């Protein structure tokens, strides 16, 4: 295979390149197509990838693959969907225990500003919902990806950092390593309208051709006649949908929106400047380039090649200051011998099949009991009678040939199901519930048991051991997302703006001003200043339910007076509202004391009265002063 040549200029204006444009297009296009086929072939060899169609079909309830006769039952008790939603809900019930920390104490104020900015970003960009989709990808497919990029169209055109969920067919690794950033490269693929290519890449965007794989639609014969578009088309708009969609040999109509194939090749390129003079890499006129002296690496932050169809739209350095692939991978069931993790459905589908087949057998026997099969002598009834007679009709009058004997109609006996059939069904249900690592309260209630709160807590803690490792993988995933976010915040948040975040009481919203000069006064230092901050998260603290035993113990200690209220609020994650609660309690206590003294001194209980000025002085003494706690 031909090597990938570098692409740089010997002049600042970018008019003198090391290759002709036509030669560069041809060589890079050929190299990218070869490396794409190679990476895609390696991905297709993975067992989890081969089973994706089956996993999605089972998850959506299509669990009977073979065609069954109409008289045979085909029930589906889709426990897979219930287990999946329960797992994803549990894994995304998190709290923001991560924070940005400064390596130098003189930057602690900047770190606090970044933490507020990050809290606003997590809420405003619905990062919890994006995480839920990534967890779904990881649980079903074995791996899910997060893509983090700057989107200039967000927030009314002011732009913001965007976090999106990607599936295994949108992100393909080139020579995977032990983690995503250790891989040699990464390919991102999606479909985009042709008009978008022309707008985003004016120089070569017009050359991008329509991709029929993305621009064809699937129609239903039930709602449209051949050659019409009366139904709502379903377009395979992304690679994952295109992979899962059924394909037939019939020609498909062309979509009204013409789509092109968009690919990003993120590479680790170790090329160096072998000339004897400085060269220019990137778009110097746009401030996205740099000078490389002789003997230095041309792409120290990595290389990015963007293709639209077979047209090279961009070939230059990684635009992100952090120098990483702008993706993070989540594998909640990692294994050391494969990049893909193990799907949650891999071990659950056989149990689901057992349940379905046992329930189908029970229903078939039940139908035979309700409408038992009958047998009669061939000469008992005429052909017309046999055709129109329903032996299960109430009050049926059947006239038969006396030559057929005294009992012309006999019902076949219905077999009795053995008890172990129901035992096997209950075992499959219980085993399928145990796969999730959660307590099935329905099973406990069905056994007539009523365990105490402490017993339930111990059972929950023992079963959640299956989930704790998954949570640790999510924490490592968020660490990668956060480290990229710090660099992106310094790089892209360049204009002042007003942001909204949750207030100190944890219940209301508050507005505050973001000024990039407060983070780094010198714009020239931002490209390096972000390295002074680290994204930290304490292991085992992110999942909200993991702190339940500690919170229960803290409440018990508070009732006994062994800890103070402030420490209790800290354990309950309610520390921001401590000051307001204390102020309210002191005000209520002062009012109660004054009211009691008024009653005592007004003669109601035999006492005398107090002068008005004495009551006023007492009230002033017991009322909290502003700013004094």
List pLDDT tens digits, range 132-151.
999 999 999 999 999 999 99
Strand extents, DSSP E, 452-587: 497-502, 509-514, 533-536
When mean pLDDT is compared across 95-104, 466-475, 601-610, the lowest value belongs to 601-610
User: What is the model's pLDDT at position 307?
Assistant: 95
Residues 429, 329 within the same domain: yes
Q: How many helices (H) and strands (E) does the chain have?
A: 21, 18
Residue 441 in this model has a pLDDT that exceeds 70? no
Q: Is residue 149 part of a domain?
A: yes
More confident residue, 109 or 444: 109
Provide the strand spans (E) within 475-553. 497-502, 509-514, 533-536
**Band (500; pLDDT cuts 50, 70, 90):** low
pLDDT surpassing 60 at residue 453:
no
Give the pairing type, strands 144-151 and 311-317: unpaired
User: What is the rounded CA–CA span in Å between residue 488 and residue 231?
Assistant: 43
Q: What is the pLDDT of residue 316?
A: 92
Residue 377 inside a domain? The answer is: no
334 and 475 part of one domain: yes
- Write down the pLDDT at residue 71: 82
> What is the helix, strand, coil percentage profile of the chain, to 5?
45, 15, 40
Q: Answer yes or no: is pLDDT of 468 > 60.
A: yes
Same domain, 585 and 475: no
Q: Are residues 538 and 580 in the same domain?
A: no
Mean pLDDT (the chain, rounded): 79
Contact between 89 and 538 (Cβ < 8 Å): no
Has this prediction a pTM greater than 0.75?
A: yes
* pLDDT(161) > 90: yes
Which pLDDT band holds residue 526 (cuts at 50, 70, 90)? confident
Which residues is 189 bridged to in the sheet?
263
Residue 607 pLDDT: 45
Residue 140 is assigned to a structural domain of this protein: yes
- pLDDT beyond 50 at 501: yes
Tell me: do 55 and 144 sit in the same domain: yes
Q: How confident is the model at residue 295 (pLDDT cuts 50, 70, 90)?
A: very high
Residue range 387-436, pLDDT digits in tens = 777 777 776 677 677 766 777 777 778 888 889 999 999 999 888 888 77
76 is a domain residue: yes
Flag whether 344 is in a domain: yes
With a cut of 90, say whether residue 349 has pLDDT above it: yes
| pLDDT-derived band at 234, boundaries 50, 70, 90 | very low
Residue 53, Cα to own-chain centre: how many angstroms?
Answer: 19
Residue 508 pLDDT grade (very low, low, confident, very high; cuts 50, 70, 90): low
CA distance 182 to 168: 17
| pLDDT tens digits along 580-617 | 677 776 776 666 666 665 665 555 444 445 556 555 66
Residue recorded with tokens 């770190």: 111
In this structure, are 358 and 488 located in the same domain? Answer: yes
- For the purposes of burial, counting CB atoms within 10 Å of the CB of 610, is it exposed (0-12), middle (13-18) or buried (19 or more)? middle
* CA distances (Å), origin 315, targets 15, 161, 267, 556, 557: 15, 23, 11, 63, 63
pLDDT in tens, 359-377: 999 998 888 888 887 777 7
Residue 35: pLDDT band by 50, 70, 90 thresholds? very high
pLDDT > 70? residue 267:
yes
Environment class of residue 590 by beta-carbon count within 10 Å: exposed (0-12), middle (13-18) or buried (19+)? Answer: middle
Assess whether 473 and 599 both reside in one domain.
no
Is the confidence at residue 233, as pLDDT, over 60? no
Are residue 585 and residue 499 in the same domain, yes or no?
Answer: no
Q: How many domains does the chain have?
A: 2
The band of 505, judged by pLDDT with boundaries at 50, 70 and 90, is very low
Strands (E), 96-236: 99-102, 144-151, 160-166, 171-174, 185-193, 217-218, 234-235
Residue 311, helix vs strand vs coil: strand
Is 188 inside a domain boundary? no
**More confidently predicted of 620 and 431:** 431
The pLDDT value recorded for residue 605 is 47
Do 175 and 113 fall into the same domain?
Answer: yes
CB 289 within 8 A of CB 281: yes
- pLDDT score of 475 more than 60: yes
- 119 and 172 in a single domain? The answer is yes
Q: Which domain holds residue 578?
A: 574-622
What is the predicted pLDDT for the residue at 309? 92
The label of the residue with tokens 């401590």 reads 578
pLDDT tens figures, 239-249 = 555 555 544 44
Residues 347 and 487 in one domain: yes
The token duo for 281 is: 């890499």
- The proportion of the chain whose per-residue pLDDT surpasses 70, expressed as a percent, equals 72
Residue 526 backbone phi and psi in degrees, to 5: -65, -35
450 band by pLDDT with thresholds 50, 70 and 90 = low
Helix (H) or strand (E) holding 264: strand 259-267
Q: Of 494, 520, 542, which residue constitutes the final position of a domain?
A: 542
- Whether 606 maps to a domain, the answer reads yes
pLDDT, position 396: 67
CA distance to 88, 137, 163, per residue, from 132 (Å): 6, 9, 12
**For residue 122, is it within any domain?**
yes
pLDDT band at 542 (very low <50, low <70, confident <90, very high): low
Residues 531 and 596 both lie in one domain = no
CA distances from 48 to 167, 178, 187, 385 (A): 13, 18, 19, 57
| Range with the poorest average pLDDT among 154-163, 180-189, 561-570 | 561-570
């Amino acid at each position: 295979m031909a090597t990938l040549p570098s692409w740089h200029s010997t002049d600042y204006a970018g008019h003198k390149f090391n290759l002709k444009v036509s030669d560069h297009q041809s060589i890079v296009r050929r190299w990218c197509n070869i490396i794409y086929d190679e990476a895609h072939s390696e991905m297709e060899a993975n067992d989890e990838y081969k089973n994706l169609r089956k996993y999605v079909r089972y998850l959506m309830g299509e669990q009977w693959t073979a065609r069954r006769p109409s008289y045979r039952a085909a029930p589906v008790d889709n426990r897979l969907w219930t287990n999946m939603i329960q797992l994803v809900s549990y894994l995304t019930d998190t709290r923001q225990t991560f924070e940005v920390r400064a390596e130098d104490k003189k930057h602690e104020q900047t770190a606090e500003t970044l933490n507020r900015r990050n809290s606003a970003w997590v809420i405003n960009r619905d990062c919890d919902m994006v995480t839920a989709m990534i967890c779904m990808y990881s649980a079903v497919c074995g791996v899910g990806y997060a893509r983090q990029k700057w989107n200039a169209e967000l927030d009314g055109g002011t732009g913001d950092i965007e976090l999106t969920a990607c599936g295994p067919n949108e992100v393909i690794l080139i020579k995977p390593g032990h983690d995503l950033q250790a891989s040699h490269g990464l390919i991102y693929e999606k479909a985009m309208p042709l008009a978008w290519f022309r707008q985003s890449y004016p120089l070569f965007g017009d050359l991008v051709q329509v991709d029929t794989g993305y621009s064809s639609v699937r129609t239903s014969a039930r709602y449209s006649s051949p050659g019409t578009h009366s139904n709502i088309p379903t377009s395979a708009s992304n690679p994952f949908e295109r992979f899962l969609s059924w394909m037939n040999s019939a020609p498909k109509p062309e979509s009204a929106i013409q789509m092109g194939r968009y690919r990003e090749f993120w590479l680790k390129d170790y090329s160096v400047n072998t000339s004897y003079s400085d060269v220019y890499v990137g778009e110097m006129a746009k401030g996205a380039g740099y000078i490389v002296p002789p003997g230095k690496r041309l792409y120290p932050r990595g290389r990015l090649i963007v293709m639209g169809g077979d047209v090279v739209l961009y070939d230059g350095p990684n635009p992100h200051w952090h120098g990483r692939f702008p993706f993070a991978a989540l594998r909640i069931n990692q294994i050391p011998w494969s990049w893909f993790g193990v799907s949650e459905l891999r071990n659950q589908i056989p149990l689901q099949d057992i349940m379905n087949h046992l329930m189908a057998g029970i229903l078939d026997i039940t139908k035979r009991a309700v409408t038992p099969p009958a047998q009669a002598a061939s000469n008992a009834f005429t052909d017309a009678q046999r055709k129109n007679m329903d032996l299960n009709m109430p009050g049926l009058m059947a006239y038969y040939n006396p030559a057929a004997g005294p009992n012309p109609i006999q019902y076949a006996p219905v077999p009795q199901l053995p008890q172990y059939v129901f035992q096997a069904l209950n075992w499959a249900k219980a085993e399928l519930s145990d796969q999730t690592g959660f307590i099935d309260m329905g099973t406990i209630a069905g056994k007539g048991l009523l365990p105490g709160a402490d017993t339930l807590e111990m059972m929950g803690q023992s079963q959640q051991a299956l989930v704790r490792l998954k949570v640790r993988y999510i924490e490592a995933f968020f660490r990668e997302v956060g480290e990229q976010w710090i660099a992106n915040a310094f790089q892209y948040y360049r204009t002042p703006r007003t942001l909204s975040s949750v207030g100190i009481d944890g219940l209301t919203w508050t507005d505050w001003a973001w000024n990039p000069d407060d983070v780094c006064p010198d714009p020239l230092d931002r490209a390096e200043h972000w390295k002074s901050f680290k994204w930290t998260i304490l292991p085992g603290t992110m999942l909200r339910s993991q702190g339940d035993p500690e919170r229960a113990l803290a409440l018990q200690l508070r009732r006994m007076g062994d800890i103070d209220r402030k420490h209790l609020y800290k354990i309950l994650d309610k520390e921001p509202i401590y000051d307001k609660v204390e102020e309210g309690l002191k005000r209520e206590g002062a009012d109660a004391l004054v009211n009691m003294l008024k009653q005592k001194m007004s003669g109601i209980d035999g006492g005398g009265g107090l002068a008005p000025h004495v009551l006023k002085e007492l009230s002033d003494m017991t009322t909290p002063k502003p700013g004094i706690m």
